[in-house]
A and B are shown apart, each in its own frame.
Chain A
Amino acid sequence: MNGPAPVCYIRRMKRTALLTCAMALAVASPALSHHSHAMFDHSKEITITGTVTEFAYRNPHVLLYLSVKGDNGETVRYEIEMSNISNTVTRGIRPSTFKPGDVITAKVHPLKDGRPGGNYVTIVAADGKTYD
């Protein structure tokens, strides 16, 4: 499962000191400025299919915007919050991976308050490749 990066971690530290907290012995994160994900419901995974409208390949979070048709037929703009750029690269996702018009399917931890946003878990790209 993938999750977005805590904001403002030192980039290299993130990749190498994942279990700092759990092990409590590894090199301390110098940033100490974590981004809580309490707004996402990590006990739920929902699957959404939509058309890519924008792909913001930027730090601190890469963002993927979809146009998604709701149950009532209305189209909503859905925001998928992804990790930082370096972790996104590591997962094989490049700036060209998602293009406007692509139809993709994503699994996300949805926002608890029901607004159209979620925390990326996996994405099946337009070419059928799965990124997790």
Chain B
Amino acid sequence: MRWIAALLVGMSLSVLASAQTPSAPPTIFTTRDFHQDRDRWTDPAYYENNTVGQLRGMAIDFDSGGRGSGQEASARARGSKGTGRVGALNLASPYPFTNAWDHYQAWLKDARGGTRHTKNTIPDWSGRWAGGPVGLDGGPNPASTVAAMLTAEYRERFVQEVKAAAEGRLWGPGSFCLPGGFFASLGAEEFIVTPDRVWTLAAGNGENYIRWIYTDGSGHTAKDSEFVKWHGESIGFWDRDALIVHTNQIHGWKGGLSEFTDNLETVERYRRVGDRIEGEITLYDPAVFVRPVHATMRFRIDPETRPELRPLYNTCTDTNGPSAKVFMDERGILNERLPGDPLFWDATDPRPWRTYLDESDKRYERYRSTQGR
């Protein structure tokens, strides 16, 4: 009897102990409702110290450029611990400016109104380049660092997106043949430099990226003619051999650290140093960022010269098919889907991924419950 009593006492203590042991705080991998974890979104432990790239790598099959699938090279098992290092890369602007125009004007003043180049003095940036912004997805920092740079509303959107990505539920504009947006245009492959204008060109797989940067002093279009454009509207000036660019009228979309609004404005600076072009970009979007965001830009000459690898004009629809907006109806006549029709594409929805992610969250929860998870 004595050992039975001891066993019962032991079991009681065990039950009490387990009841008193605080349960592990939720992570992005264990939470049932991430909306309830607001106070944990800026904690690296919430992401198991994963970087944004590592979280997305749980869903993405990165291409390896000819040596095999990145599925093995970069994909990580969902829930695995990451290698994020707090403070590894400073995402905050080092400049005192609170808006892009003041920033641009200050640099214009420093350049004494800018350097007017001729065909003979314009810097030579010819060649094929490879590069773009460094760490603009948060780089080696844990995802919490990105969350901390965002305002409450955009922080919530960010967590929803990376959580879904880590669960294999990824929304990317390319999957739907939609434009990559402003940040996709920053990976210039060619800089065509003239005294009055600079063009940057890049060939994507599903679209092409062009920017026109007016350095002729003509400035931006008048306020009453402004409208948002996928790559915005860029003007610039030269400070000796450095190009400074101001961009506004950018179509709000996804890219960089997070979603961004139509009010995003940027200031860039580029300079050729040997076989590299070094630069930087500062992002101003007060509704999204708690402080202006800064990233370096890095390009190097691409030694690849094979003719068969020259840039192509690309359209996503070549293999992904035409828009769902227009279809052939039962009469065999081209027709258009309207609001309320199945597969209707709402061209006025500024956040098409919201519809996707919200519906995906619901379906995933249903799926998890049917799987007993």
Report A's interface with B, CB cutoff 8 A: 1-38, 40, 42, 56, 58-63, 83-87, 89-91, 94, 119, 121, 132
Taking the nearest CB of chain A, how far is it from the CB of B35, in angstroms?
23
Q: Please, how many residues of chain B have a CB less than 8 angstroms from a CB on the other chain?
A: 83
Q: Nearest residue in A to B134 (C-beta to C-beta)?
A: A27
A87 and B136 contact, CB distance less than 8 A: no
Q: Complex: how many Å from CA A16 to CA B300?
A: 10
Q: What residues of chain B lie closer than 8 Å to A7, measured between beta carbons?
A: 172, 174-175, 177, 205-206, 316, 320
B134 and A18 contact, CB distance less than 8 A: no
- Segment 203-234 of B: residues with Cβ below 8 Å from A: 203-207, 209
A37 and B71 contact, CB distance less than 8 A: yes
**Cross-chain contact of B172 among A32, A42, A90 (Cβ < 8 A):** A32
A59 and B61 contact, CB distance less than 8 A: no
A36 and B314 contact, CB distance less than 8 A: no
Between A and B, 8 residue pairs with Cβ closer than 8 Å are A5-B63, A7-B206, A9-B204, A12-B187, A16-B65, A21-B60, A29-B132, A31-B180
Q: What residues of chain A lie closer than 8 Å to B89, measured between beta carbons?
A: 25
**Secondary structure class of chain B's binding surface, majority of residues:** loop
On whether A33 and B173 interact (CB within 8 A), knowing A21-B53, A60-B206, the answer reads yes
Instruction: Kindly list 20 other residue pairs between chains A and B, CB separation below 8 angstroms, not including A15-B130, A35-B174, A132-B68.
Output: A1-B71, A3-B64, A4-B61, A5-B205, A8-B316, A10-B184, A10-B204, A11-B202, A11-B204, A15-B66, A19-B62, A20-B62, A21-B57, A23-B53, A24-B53, A25-B135, A28-B139, A30-B133, A30-B184, A40-B61
A8 and B205 contact, CB distance less than 8 A: yes
Q: Complex: how many Å from CA A5 to CA B175?
A: 11
